[in-house]
Each structure stands twice: as structure tokens, then as C-alpha cells.
Amino acid sequence: MNFELNEEQQAFADSVRRFAEANLKDGALERAHDPHFPRGVAQMLGKQGLMGISFDPADGGQGGTLFDSVIAIEQIASVCPRSADVVQAGNFGPIRTFVEYATPEQKARWLPDLLAGNICISLGMSEPDAGSAVTELKTTATQDGDDFVINGSKVFGTHSPDAAIYLVYVRFGPGVNGIGSVIIERDTPGFTIGKPTPFMSGEQWSQLYFENCRIPARNVLLGVGGFKKQIAGFNVERLGNSSRSLALGRYAFNLAREHALIRKQFGRPLCEFQGLQWKFADMALKLESAQMLLYRAASVTEGLPSPYQTAIAKLACNQAGFEVANEAVQVMGGLGYSQESLAEYCMRRTRGWMIAGGSTEILKNRIAEDVFDRRFDQRGQAARAS
């Protein structure tokens, strides 16, 4: 067992860090307060080979590992927290499901622009009445000749106001088996993108409306029976979410650490007060332990990450990220609470990841299933009553 990065991984981490220091340090604060997808950063990361890090070179990827993508998030986030979202978009999010299951024709059509950072893709899974219970989604795809007609609505999609294409979960038929997915282009007739609404992080989302939106059958990504495949792939997305949570917690921790070394009150630097030293010890414990769980889950050399290891890593990283960023704000006092510092951004941003991509409660449900080695049907009582 080795708890350090190997030589190759360390060299990669150092090179990403140097790139970030040179290109992303300036403007980090402004980027955090810009509600739009940072397309300029995406194009820069595309040129640097930081999009599709673990994708097959035949697909335009870099042939690296999932672990390499985690390293990239950590290094980019340590310099510019907001730019870590671009690493997510180019490696872990719906792009990962897309590259896994798209046909050669679909890949040829959209992947080059996605990997170059020219366009971004948004995931349309959640609906007004289907959040944690995602399999209750109602958006339908009905075959009509060579086309499918889409009807329904999606909410909360990351980058939904700015995306060029949308990976939309749809129902081809009843039950879990009836769920699959389609790709919908932004300007398709019958598809409306609602007015953007800000999340607490400042990032915006738009409700998506599909009213007799007609798409060709070649835009189907996964047909009937596709849901299980998609959800297995979602563990990768969860690790991107975990990496960003932890990385932003660490960013805030480092800001607070610097502050505590320099800021003096009562004639002494803050770091000399034991009440604050213990806060830092608790923060370090949370970050270090979550880091181990993240690295374990991301260390897969073949196939997809384990659902259990992913769930426990995401839970630890989500909690550590938010709790540490929150404490960092406290340690930095008024400055921490001000938008002059990125500590408050890290706190707001990490809060959302306790809800997105499997809330902490849903993760605990998943972990408990492994603990008891049995499945707990969340619909138990409702199903019995009906």
C-alpha cells in the first residue's frame, strides 16, 4: 500500500500546477463571480490536453487514468477554484457518459468541439417531480417514424443556460427499464430554455421545456434498458464532484492558514490561539481522511469505480469540503465573509455538492445497503399503501 503519488503522477501534478499558476491565477476571483461557463478556460484546457484526460486517444482523449483526472481537478482548483468546474465538464460530467455510449457518428459530430472547449454539454436528469427519486422521471420519448418526439421538463442542470447540447434522460416506456437518454441540440424546435436562476454559488441554471420536440433517431444515446448503464457511469461524475468539494475545502483551508499566520489580534498572530489551532487540527483531519477515501475510489485501473467506495468518498469529501470552508470563513472573520476573498465562494460552492450528484442522505442510504448487505427499497411504505 502506498499513500503517495507515484513519480509519474507527481510529475503530472507539478506540470498541471505550473500551467495553472501561469494561466489561471490572474482572474481567479472574477471567474468565481461570473455566472457563465468559462469558455475561454475550457479552450485553454483543451489545448493543454486537460479535457478527456482518461478518454481513449481514438476518441481524441489523452489515454490517462481516472486518477489523473482527479489530480488535474486538485491542481487546477488549488489555483483557480472556478476553473475546476471546467475540468469536471471535460472529464467527469455528462461528457463521460457520452464518450462511453455514443455511436461513432455521434462522437464525430460533437466530441471534437466538446474536447476543444468550444461547446459544453449539460445533463438533464432531474425534473420538478423527480429529484432523488430519479426513476420517477416523466419526460417521454415517443417514436414517430424515424424520429422521436420529446415531451417534459428538466430542472437544475449545471451549465444549462450555456450548453450547446443536452444529454437528457427520457422515458421510452414504463418502469426503470423504460428509461434511456437522448442528445438534444440547443436550437431544436420545441425545446425552450427558461430564464436563468442563480444557485447559491452564483452559477445559473435554467428550466428546460420540451413540447413536441422532434429529434432524429440517430440522437438516441441509450435506448430502453439504458438507465442502469448510465447510473453505473454516474459514479465517475460523483468522483469529480468529490474532488472539487475537497479541493475547494483545501483552497479555503490554505487561505485561512495564511491569514492565521499573519493576522494579529491582542498582540499575537491568530495561529497562537489554541482555540484556532484546534480548528485547524480538526480541518486537517477532515481533509486528510477524505483524501484517502477519494484516492481509494479513484484508483480503479479497469472498469468503473465501486459504487460503495464512491458513495463513501463523496460523503466524506462533501462534508469535509463544506465544513472546512465554513470554518475557514470563521477563522478569517469579516474578510472571510467578504467577496474580496474566495473563502466565502468555496463555502457557498461546496454547499451545493452536498445536494448535487446524490445528496449526502442518498449516499448514506447507499452505504447502509453495503453495511447490511441488503437493498432497502425507499418506496417501501408508499408501495405497500398503494
Ligand X SMILES: Cc1cc2nc3c(=O)[nH]c(=O)nc-3n(C[C@H](O)[C@H](O)[C@H](O)COP(=O)(O)OP(=O)(O)OC[C@H]3O[C@@H](n4cnc5c(N)ncnc54)[C@H](O)[C@@H]3O)c2cc1C
Contacting residues toward ligand X, per CB under 6 A: 123-126, 131-132, 156-158, 199, 352, 355-356, 359, 361-362, 365, 378
- Give the residue with the Cβ less far from ligand X, 68 or 203: 203
Rounded Cα distance, 100 and 120, in Å = 17
Rounded Cα distance, 327 and 256, in Å = 9
Q: How far is the CB of 382 from ligand X (least distance, A)?
A: 10
Strand positions, DSSP E, the chain:
121-124, 140-144, 147-154, 165-171, 179-185, 191-193, 197-198, 204-205, 208-216, 220-222, 264-265, 268-269
- Cα–Cα nearest to 98, from 189, 163, 188, 178: 163
Rounded Cα distance, 68 and 179, in Å = 32
Cβ-proximal residue to ligand X, closest one? 131
Q: How far is the CB of 126 from ligand X (least distance, A)?
A: 4
Q: How far is the CB of 39 from ligand X (least distance, A)?
A: 17
- Give the residue with the Cβ less far from ligand X, 254 or 378: 378
Q: How far is the CB of 179 from ligand X (least distance, A)?
A: 13
Q: Print burial letters for 88-125: b (CB count within 10 Å at least 16), e (below 16).
A: bbbbbbbbbbbbbbbeeebbebbbeebbbbebbbbbbb
Q: How far is the CB of 158 from ligand X (least distance, A)?
A: 4
Provide the grid cell at 229: 448503464
- Give the residue with the Cβ less far from ligand X, 16 or 51: 51
Q: How far is the CB of 312 from ligand X (least distance, A)?
A: 16
Phi/psi of residue 230, each to 5°? -65, -40
- Give the residue with the Cβ less far from ligand X, 123 or 236: 123
- Give the residue with the Cβ less far from ligand X, 46 or 157: 157
- Give the residue with the Cβ less far from ligand X, 97 or 219: 97
